[in-house]
Structure 1
Amino acid sequence: MVDQEPSAASMNDFATWEPVLRLLLAGRPHGPAGRPVQVSGRIGRHSWSLDLRRRMPAPGRAARAEDAREEFDAVRRVQSALADAGVDDVSFTAEIQPTGRTALRLLGPSPAVEPGIGTPHPGALLLVDGSLPEPWRRLPDPAPGAVPAPSADPALLERTLRERLPHAIGATEEEIAAAEARLGVPLPEELKALYRVTRARWEDLGDDYEAAARESTAVGCELFNLDGLYVADAGSRHCRWEFAAMEAVVTPPDAAVQGLVGSPGWIAFGDNGGGDRLAVDLTPGPRGHLGQVVMLSHEESTGAELIADSLTDLVLGIRPRARSGRAEEERPPVVARVNIASLKTVEAAAHPGLEVLSIGVWDGAPFSLAPVTGLPRLRTLTAYPGTLADPLEIGKLTGLEFLELGPREWRALLDAGAVPRSLSAAAIVVHGDQDPLPVVDLANEILALWNRPLIVRTVLEGDLGPVA
């Protein structure tokens, strides 16, 4: 890897980084005399990760912002430079000589690399531009026989809401039609009836918080206005590749809601007050109803929960009857974890429906991948460093779209020319305090196989003064 000379941008000015480097240097334990000090970290425009020993507040006193003022000021200086350069996130490593001479290496950015989490090491490598994990590509199954629930009653819904909200201002037919045109999908009759009673605009309430609370109570949620309606498709649920690749979606034959990340038939119209979105479901599961109300949890990346068989039921406070879910429980898991606390063999995980295999911490003999070779749906493999008997067996897994391995396992694949070409994304798992530079070089080797933009290393030199 050839290091680049710095440009004139403030992000590439050593003085911009000097306060951060001084903080890291001050927090490092003293090593052998005459030896250089290594520090590293990551700073993004909205977050950062630095190996700092923060001062504890005095006993009996809570931590205050001023306790970390020096850190905040140093980081904000870099964040301002990142914003000026149009860069979202950058990792770095620095070697500080006893004399204070310092070589700072900025690692990135690259449009083909997701930032690491709490680490200077790179996150997922995006090998195919615009690629998405399989659950994010999954569309709903057709439901041509789906009908509204018997309880769906637009007239009753509208009458009930008018009684509860006699002074509300409703949407015009023109406003409803404009929302349908923007969304590209007709609104179901119950949803139109709701908005004919109230268009849920804050300005209509005259900054009356009590009126807003009454409206939420009357409807059963914090209602979006017509401009806030959106289609909760898979694109509305962003998830990092290395997490999304570990997900799987399944729809049991007795399910009311299809197992999906998102659907073009989920029209989000409100919030439960805790960040979970409510949507009308126009693509129900085998046992569901057209227009049922589902909730998308903000703590989950896939799936939705049935909360009412109809919008009328939601307004009337009628909950759906519980369903058994036995069909789902009887299926072998499509996501299998082999480790000291879960399955103990790869054989136990293997079955034709397996999509994701995660091999975690293990204190026994390394595993062979022979039991999962040839499985038709296996698309994700993650393996803790040292858990594979022969990493080259990965070459026989011809359907992989995501692969996460340790540096040694990746080195074996690269040296043998055996990196699966079916991959859309990859990740290098690093544990402990490892030097980021070799990991970046390894990542660039993988990226180069797909002709993807490499992680650029920019070298900045400066002087921090003699190290105490």
Structure 2
Amino acid sequence: MVDQRPPLSSVSDFATWEPVLRLMLADDTDRRAARPARVAGRISQYGTSLAYRGSMSSTALTAVEGIQRALARGGVQEIAFRAEVQPDGGAALGLVWPSPVVEPALGYPDLGVLVLVDGSFAAPWLRRPDPVTGAVPAPSADPELLERTLRERLPDAVGATEEEIAAAEARLGVTLSDELKVLYRVTRVYGGDDFDLEEADRAGGAVGCELSGVEHLYSIDAAVRNPGWDLGATHAVSAAPDAAVQSLAGSPGWIGFGTNGGDEFAVDLTPGPAGYFGQVILVGHEESLGAELVADSLTDFVLGRTREERRDRGGDKLPAVARVGTGCLETIQAAVHPALEVLTIGAWDGTPFSLAPVTALPRLRTLSAVPGTLADPLEVAEFRGLEFLELGAQEWRALLDAGAVPRSLKAAAVKVRDEDHLPVVALANEILALWDRPEIVQTLLTGDLGPPA
């Protein structure tokens, strides 16, 4: 929709944006060749995503800072913009305001991901751990040795009571490993009103990490690690038979007990096929799936007998994930496999692809195709389990006109190409309307930048 009453009047003035547009058009070859020039970007309260060469002029910097201050005053996190400038200087500028139904894309020209189902996540972030009925503690797990070591290192520590440990198990819905119970019988670390910072530091030094108190034990939550649909939809999780750690976003059996200042250490009660019950894993804050094995047991961890085993990334490869196009697979047939979950069609100079070979695959949930790479966009209607769909504007137009947009979708994206820059918001609103989602607000401005220098 076009907003008739711009949310921030100072930002919704073409003159405010003129220095930014001139900055981005400084190396403008399109208008010199008598073609329209198209630019897009984002400005947030704390940063920018602008495509330009060279340094930012003082005029442009002042304009950007003014926009950022206006956003801060209005409580607006970010504004996206896209503009089309004619060879004679006539300019149309669209300001796209934040929306609760849009996850901003990493690529600045794209509008972002349309969240069609409120609170939805890509499949890998919904996956639960596989059963681990045969998992046993590592041979190195030695609760008696662990307790002696900790009491030697922490002779004056106050441990948690059995009632406190039982309360933690009840809250988490799991039975803690014997080693973890021993750890907290020696030191509970935090004790409510009688918290002692020095004691906490000593406990952390004795264990080897910044230690959480028994009442602060927690399960690693998959939702917290969710990177959003823009990245999440193209991932898959593996089930390698020789994996020590299950490639999950989180698990009720990943019991976080401490940190290294950024990443989380957890005792793993739901290990992979080659792992041990109670092993220690590291959940990286910069990663959204999987964890690294640190030690076979908590005893090993405390004694410094750590190991390095990188997390399994096999789930993002064939047969679960396939990439077709220049430099990748050259045919759709090469991607066909019952386990295929994610199909990405990239840049391609050859004959457009037919989707017929993959429409019946039972697990395919994500399809992303660069504009112009599909022979018949209406083949998308044959998919029954798609959760995420990313297509160009013309392909979406064909699906909308035919009433063929798959209703199984939870999220969608419009892949921007030059000619699709300004109309993309109206197209996105048509998609959102099929799910009765709120419209995106766009403010349209016009101005004159004059001919190219």
Would you call these one fold, judging by a TM-score over 0.5? yes
**Which residue pairs with 1:4 in the alignment?**
3
Q: CA RMSD in A?
A: 4.0
**Could you tell me whether the CA contact under 8 Å between 2:348 and 2:373 is conserved in 1?**
yes
**Could you tell me whether the CA contact under 8 Å between 1:147 and 1:289 is conserved in 2?**
yes
Counterpart check, 1:381 vs 2:367: yes
**Could you tell me whether the CA contact under 8 Å between 1:366 and 1:387 is conserved in 2?**
yes
Moved more, 253-262 or 392-401: 253-262
**Which residue pairs with 1:307 in the alignment?**
294
Work out the percentage of aligned pairs sharing the same amino acid.
Answer: 60
Counting only pairs closer than 5 Å after superposition, residues 324-363 of structure 1 correspond to structure 2 as: 333-363=319-349
**Could you tell me whether the CA contact under 8 Å between 1:279 and 1:294 is conserved in 2?**
yes
Tell me, in whole angstroms, the C-alpha distance in 2 between the residues paired with 1:92 and 1:124. 16
**Which residue pairs with 1:404 in the alignment?**
390
Moved more, 166-175 or 113-122: 166-175
**Could you tell me whether the CA contact under 8 Å between 2:10 and 2:70 is conserved in 1?**
no
Deviation of residue 187 (structure 1)? 3.7
**Which residue pairs with 1:28 in the alignment?**
25
Deviation of residue 126 (structure 1)? 0.8
**Which residue pairs with 1:266 in the alignment?**
254
**Could you tell me whether the CA contact under 8 Å between 2:24 and 2:39 is conserved in 1?**
no
Tell me, in whole angstroms, the C-alpha distance in 2 between the residues paired with 1:174 and 1:17. 66
Structure 1 residues 15 and 115: alpha-carbon distance in aligned structure 2, compared to 1, 3 A threshold: closer
Tell me, in whole angstroms, the C-alpha distance in 2 between the residues paired with 1:72 and 1:239. 31
What is the aligned counterpart of 1:231 among 203, 209, 219? 219
**Could you tell me whether the CA contact under 8 Å between 1:17 and 1:78 is conserved in 2?**
no
| SS across alignment from 2:422 | helix
| SS across alignment from 2:101 | coil
**Could you tell me whether the CA contact under 8 Å between 1:48 and 1:118 is conserved in 2?**
no
Matched residue type, 1:315: V
**Could you tell me whether the CA contact under 8 Å between 2:352 and 2:374 is conserved in 1?**
yes
Structure 1 residues 389 and 104: alpha-carbon distance in aligned structure 2, compared to 1, 3 A threshold: closer
| SS across alignment from 2:80 | strand
Tell me, in whole angstroms, the C-alpha distance in 1 between the residues paired with 2:376 and 2:37. 37
**Could you tell me whether the CA contact under 8 Å between 1:183 and 1:230 is conserved in 2?**
yes
Deviation of residue 384 (structure 1)? 1.8
Matched residue type, 2:366: T
Matched residue type, 1:49: S
Counting only pairs closer than 5 Å after superposition, residues 154-165 of structure 1 correspond to structure 2 as: 154-165=143-154
Counterpart check, 1:108 vs 2:97: yes
Give CA-to-partner distance per residue, 1:234-268, whole Å, 9 cap, x none.
11212120211111112233433223221111112
Runs of 5+ consecutive residues of structure 2 not aligned to the other structure: none
Deviation of residue 277 (structure 1)? 2.3
Counting only pairs closer than 5 Å after superposition, residues 318-329 of structure 1 correspond to structure 2 as: 318-319=305-306
**Which residue pairs with 1:448 in the alignment?**
433
Structure 1 residues 346 and 233: alpha-carbon distance in aligned structure 2, compared to 1, 3 A threshold: same
Tell me, in whole angstroms, the C-alpha distance in 1 between the residues paired with 2:296 and 2:161. 27
**Which residue pairs with 1:297 in the alignment?**
284
Deviation of residue 168 (structure 1)? 5.4
Matched residue type, 2:19: R
**Which residue pairs with 1:61 in the alignment?**
none
Structure 1 residues 341 and 227: alpha-carbon distance in aligned structure 2, compared to 1, 3 A threshold: farther
TM-score w.r.t. the length of structure 2 is 0.82
**Could you tell me whether the CA contact under 8 Å between 1:89 and 1:115 is conserved in 2?**
no
Counting only pairs closer than 5 Å after superposition, residues 449-464 of structure 1 correspond to structure 2 as: 449-459=434-444
**Could you tell me whether the CA contact under 8 Å between 2:129 and 2:248 is conserved in 1?**
yes
Deviation of residue 435 (structure 1)? 5.8
Counterpart check, 1:124 vs 2:113: yes
Tell me, in whole angstroms, the C-alpha distance in 1 between the residues paired with 2:400 and 2:104. 23
Give CA-to-partner distance per residue, 1:23-66, whole Å, 9 cap, x none.
4435533757x9998764312344321244452xxxxxxxxxxx
Structure 1 residues 339 and 285: alpha-carbon distance in aligned structure 2, compared to 1, 3 A threshold: same
Tell me, in whole angstroms, the C-alpha distance in 2 between the residues paired with 1:187 and 1:225. 14
Runs of 5+ consecutive residues of structure 1 not aligned to the other structure: 56-66
**Could you tell me whether the CA contact under 8 Å between 1:91 and 1:121 is conserved in 2?**
no
